[in-house]
Amino acid sequence: MSLAVLELCAGGGGQALGLEMAGFRHAGAVEYEPQFCTTLRRNRPHWNVVQQDIRHLRAQDFSGVDLLAAGVPCPPFSIASKQLGADDERDMFPAALDLVARIKPRAVLFENVPGFASARFQQYRKNLLMSLGKLGFQAEWKILQAADFGVPQLRPRFVLVALAPKDAEFFSWPVETGPNGTVGSTLVDLMGANGWSGAQSWARKADGIAPTVVGGSKKHGGPDLGPTRARVQWHRLGVDGLGIADSAPDASTPDDKIPRLTTRMVARIQSFPDDWEFTGGKTSAYRQVGNAFPPQVASLVGASLVRALQRRRSTSNGRYVEMKLLDASRPLHRNPPLYKPRVR
C-alpha cells in the first residue's frame, strides 16, 4: 500500500525527491515561486504541482493524506538574517499548522535551519510542540548532520517529526553512516569533463567534506558559495567560492588554477542525481540547489516514517530497515519505481 504525501514549500524538490525515494507518492507539491514549479514539473510531470501560497491552499483537496511535509522558509530563524521568528512576515509555521489541523494527516515532517534549535527560539519551539500535541501528535525533533548520512557536506538541519502515539512508538531516527567520499572524489569526473588536465590533482587536494552550501534568498544572496567564513573553508578545499561557474575548466585551464563549482557540481554535493534539471537563470537555479534539503537525508527520514506508519520497528538484535543511499552521479528514471527498503 503506497503512502501519500503533501509537500509544502517544495522549492527545487530536494525533500520531495527524497520522500519519493522512500516510497511516498505525491498527492501534491505546493510551491509559490513560478520558476521552482517549472523545475518540479520538468523533472516529475506526473506530480500534482500546485503554484500557490500555502496560506490560500484548499485543505479539502488533500484531506487525509498520510504525511504533510514542509520545508517552510528559513529566514525567520537563520543566523544569516535578523532572526525575527514569529515577527517575520515570512514565518509560515502558523499556516502549516493550520493545514495540519484541517487536513489531519497521520504524520508531519518539518525541516528548517539549525538556528531554529537555538535558545532564542525555545518558546517558539515549545508553542509549536504544544500545538501539535493538541492536534493529537507526539512530536520530537533532532539536528541531523548531512555528513552523517553519506552526503559530502556538513549541512546541519533541524528536523521535526510528529506522529499519532500508536505510530510514534515505531519511529526511530535514521542510523548514521558517516560521509561517503570527499568533495574531490565526488566531483572529479565533473571537474574534468571538459578536458582539464588538473582535475585529478585538484581532487586529491579537495580531500575533505564541504561546508554548508548557502543558497541565499530572493532578496539577498547571489550565485556564490556563501559569506566570507564559508568561502575561506571552500578555499582550503581548492575551490573559489566567490561565484558559480557556467562550465567546468577546459583543456586550456592551468593545472594550478583554483576552480569555481558549477550549479551541477553543487547539486551533486547536495546529493541530487545528475539528471535532476534546475530551470531558470544561474541565480534562480543555484537558489533551488543551495536551499534544498539533501534528497539522500530526506530519503532516510522518509524511510523511518514509512516504517512507523506501517508499524514496523527496529529489533533489539540490531536489525533495521535502511534505504539504499543515493549515488548522485547515477541518473534516476523519469518515473522511478517505488524503492523497496532492504533489511539487514
* Residues 234-282 pLDDT 10s: 999 999 999 999 999 999 999 999 999 999 999 999 999 999 999 999 9
Same domain? 303 vs 155: yes
Same domain? 91 vs 213: no
Same domain? 113 vs 143: yes
H or E segment and range at residue 5: strand 3-8
The C-alpha atoms of residue 99 and residue 60 are separated, in whole angstroms, by: 10
Q: How confident is the model at residue 80, as a pLDDT?
A: 46
Residue 74 known to be catalytic: yes
Same domain? 195 vs 173: no
- pLDDT surpassing 70 at residue 216: no
The CATH number of the domain holding residue 148 is: 3.40.50.150
The strand pairing partners of 194, in sequence order, are: 250
| Tens of pLDDT, residues 155-199 | 999 999 999 999 999 999 999 998 889 999 999 999 999 999 999
Same domain? 127 vs 149: yes
- Picking from 307, 285, 294, 304, the residue whose alpha carbon sits closest to that of residue 16 is 294
Greatest mean pLDDT range, 110-114, 312-316, 338-342? 110-114
Query: 340 pLDDT band (50/70/90 cuts)?
Result: very low
State mean pLDDT over 296-305.
Answer: 98
Q: Where on the phi/psi map is residue 64: left (φ > 0), alpha (ψ -120 to 50), or beta?
A: left
**174 Cβ neighbours under 8 A, 6+ residues apart:** 144, 149, 297, 300, 301, 303, 304, 322
The C-alpha atoms of residue 230 and residue 298 are separated, in whole angstroms, by: 24
Same domain? 82 vs 117: yes
The C-alpha atoms of residue 82 and residue 26 are separated, in whole angstroms, by: 34
Query: 326 pLDDT band (50/70/90 cuts)?
Result: low
CA triple 125-144-220, angle to 5 deg: 70
Which domain range does residue 202 map to?
A: 183-290
Q: How many domains does the chain have?
A: 2
Same domain? 286 vs 297: no
Same domain? 36 vs 52: yes
Same domain? 120 vs 17: yes
Chain-centre distance for alpha carbon 143: 13
Cβ atoms within 10 Å of 245's Cβ, excluding its own: 16
Select which of 74, 159, 206, 301 is catalytic.
74
